[in-house]
Amino acid sequence: MLQVQFLRDEKERVLNGLKKKNFSPISLVDDAISTDDSRKKIQFDLDENLAKMNALSKEIGELMKAGKKDEANEAKVATSKYKEEIEKQKEELKKAEAELQDILYTIPNIPNEKVPNGLTPEENEIIFQSHEVKGLGEGNIPHWELAKKYNLIDFELGVKIAGAGFPVYFGKGARLQRALVQYFLDKNVDAGYLEVNPPHVINEASGYGTGQLPDKEGQMYYINEDKLFLIPTAEVPITNLYRDVLLEEKDLPIKNTAFTQCYRREAGSYGAHVRGLNRLHQFEKVEIVRLEKAENSYAVLEEMVDHVKSILEDLELPYRILRLCGGDMGFASAMTYDFEVWSAAQEKWLEVSSVSNFETFQSTRLKCRYKAEGKNQLVHTLNGSAMALPRIMAALLENNQTEDGIKLPKIIADYAKFEMIG
């Protein structure tokens, strides 16, 4: 969440940033400032009336001591009127504060100055590509056919049990999933991340804390009776571990990793681009989350990009890295890098990871600060997928098919305890 003082002090920068993100209506910035002006006026009048009432209360005591009962009673009547006005102003202040917060919740983060202009994914900036890519050619098949051929994943059985987007993994398919999870976790822990096992459900406060609410309410599964949401990513519960926490400077940086199931309604998704593992409602993902000082966060973002890059190098998959343009970025992000792997059988790029810096956007909502030199300062929060499994699995199957079966990269073969699927 952007702070209202920032909207005042950096209004031109904010408006330009919102335009870069293709956000509308930017008039919300003026709405926030004018609402804050009203809030300040109410607060000023309230403070003034409180001061007058306190002065009168003191005067009543002095009049009573002096035996001036009639004058004291007149002062008491005036005090009662102040109390009524004060209660009214408190309600007005509460309403103005809630209105201001609602407006601020709907304004997205502004992009970093290095974020390229653009409105669509086609305008994202390709900053690295590992290989020249091409299709596998005649006789090679997409992952959903490979999954059926080798009895790795049953998509139709998942439909019977739950619905589309909930596949069932069998045999080597299930073992390969487990091997990938363990490898990702080990890789992250070796890089200094502390593994945590968070809840897979969150309350409303947690959703607001990281920016899923009110932006992505329609994309999350909701448990009505308990007023809880199934998590769309481990980023949400991990980052909320530090909600309303005042850290010490020595506590930073904080580096966490977690494996969770993730749940996304993906409302409105249909067609060939969501076939097989391309887009699921339930999927496995390993996440990395960091809390950093402001002056370190962009160097850390590049470090996280290099970390995810090393994972894809280990997996021997063709991949590319994109810096997202303003119009394709998420609501809370100030800068995002996407990683895509090449699906040789489908002949297209599949997103497998996003690595983002949110600067203070989440920590403002979370009230997550650290104390340094006697002052409380907001942390910068960052997160990334390291990694999401479905499309990694799809690319591994498609890019490694041979006449004899599917040959796994050595790093995963060591974890899975088998080299071939066939």
Q: Say if 95 falls within a structural domain.
A: yes
Could you tell me whether strands 319-323 and 125-129 are parallel, antiparallel, or unpaired per DSSP bridges?
Answer: antiparallel
> Is residue 399 assigned to a domain?
yes
297, part of any domain: yes
Contacts of 177 (CB under 8 A, 6+ apart): 169, 284, 389, 393
- Residue 383, annotated as binding a ligand: yes
Query: What is the arithmetic mean of pLDDT over 187-206?
Result: 98
Tell whether 109 is in a known binding site: no
Tell me: do 33 and 160 sit in the same domain. Answer: no
Element (H, E) at 285: strand 282-292
Which of the four pLDDT bands, split at 50, 70 and 90, describes residue 59? confident
Q: What is the pTM of this model?
A: 0.92
Check residue 364 and give its pLDDT: 97
* Residue 330 shares a structural domain with residue 185: yes
Question: End-to-end alpha-carbon separation of the chain, Å?
Answer: 51
What the block records as the tokens of 281 is: 């409602």
Query: 344-377 burial, b if ≥16 CB within 10 A, otherwise e?
Result: bbbeebbebbbbbbbbbbbbbbbebbbeeeeeeb
Residue 270, pLDDT > 60, answer no
Looking at the fold, whether 328 and 359 belong to one and the same domain comes out as: yes
112 is in an annotated binding site: no
Across 4-13, 115-124, 137-146, 249-258, least confident range: 137-146
Confirm whether 271 is domain-assigned.
yes
User: What are the tokens at 399?
Assistant: 């890019």
Q: Which of 75, 87, 26, 124 is nearest to 339 (CA)?
A: 124
Position 373 confidence tier, pLDDT thresholds 50, 70, 90: confident
pLDDT at site 55? 87
Q: Are residues 166 and 251 in the same domain?
A: yes
Looking at residues 135-146, what average pLDDT do you find?
84
The CA distance from 36 to 27, in Å, is: 14
pLDDT of amino acid 78: 84
For residues 6-16, average pLDDT: 97
In a shared domain, residues 126 and 99: no
pLDDT tens digits for 107-137? 999 999 999 999 999 999 999 999 898 876 6
Q: Does one domain contain both 157 and 212?
A: yes
Instruction: Map tokens 């309303």 to a residue.
Output: 244
Q: Has residue 359 got a pLDDT over 70? A: yes
Q: Does residue 82 fall inside a structural domain?
A: yes
Domain span holding position 273: 121-421
Domain count, the chain: 2
Domain with 188 in it: what CATH number? 3.30.930.10
Domain stop point among 105, 132, 165: 105
10 known ligand binder: no
**353 annotated ligand-binding residue:** yes
Q: How far does CA 406 lie from the centroid of its chain? A: 35
Of 81, 105, 129, at which residue does a domain stop? Answer: 105
Q: Annotated binding residue at 381?
A: no
354 belongs to an annotated ligand binding site: yes
Dihedral through CA 173, CA 352, CA 196, CA 215, nearest 10? Answer: -120
pLDDT greater than 90 at residue 81: no
Domain assignment present for residue 116? The answer is no
* pLDDT at res. 269: 52
Query: In this structure, are 360 and 411 located in the same domain?
Result: yes
Which of 111, 149, 155, 130 is closest to 22 using CA atoms?
111
- N residues, the chain: 422
Q: Is 248 annotated as a binding residue?
A: no
Q: Let me know the angle formed at the C-alpha of 395 by 389 and 396, rounded to the nearest 5 degrees.
A: 85
Query: Which residues have a Cβ under 8 Å from the Cβ of 283 and sit 6 or more positions away?
Result: 261, 262, 388, 389, 390
User: Binding residue per annotation — 264?
Assistant: yes
Give the Cα separation of 344 and 399 in Å (integer).
6
CATH of the domain at 51: 1.10.287.40
Average pLDDT score over residue span 16-34: 97
Of 74, 105, 136, which one is at a domain's C-terminal end?
105
pLDDT band, very low/low/confident/very high, at 344 (cuts 50, 70, 90): confident
Average pLDDT across the chain, whole number: 94
Q: Is residue 110 part of a domain?
A: no
Determine the Cα–Cα distance for residues 13 and 111; give it in Å rounded to an integer: 10
Structural domain contains residue 320: yes
5 pLDDT higher than 70: yes
In which residue are the tokens 């049953």 written? Answer: 154
Please tell me whether residues 194 and 218 are part of one structural domain. yes
pLDDT band at 27 (very low <50, low <70, confident <90, very high): very high
> What is the pLDDT, as a whole number, of residue 267?
60
Tokens 């007023």 identify what position? Answer: 227
Cα angle, residue 373 at apex, residues 370 and 375 outer, rounded to 5°: 55
Task: Give the model confidence (pLDDT) of 292-322 as tens digits.
Answer: 999 999 999 999 999 999 999 999 999 999 9
- Cβ distance 362 to 355 under 8 Å? no
- Shared-domain flag, residues 101 and 126: no
Same domain, 400 and 297: yes
- Determine whether 146 is exposed, middle or buried from the number of CB atoms within 10 Å of its CB (0-12, 13-18, 19+): buried
Out of 20-29, 52-61, 192-201, least confident range: 52-61
383 and 242 part of one domain: yes
* 282, 262 contact by CB (below 8 A): yes
* Residue carrying structure tokens 């490694």: 400
Same domain? 247 vs 381: yes
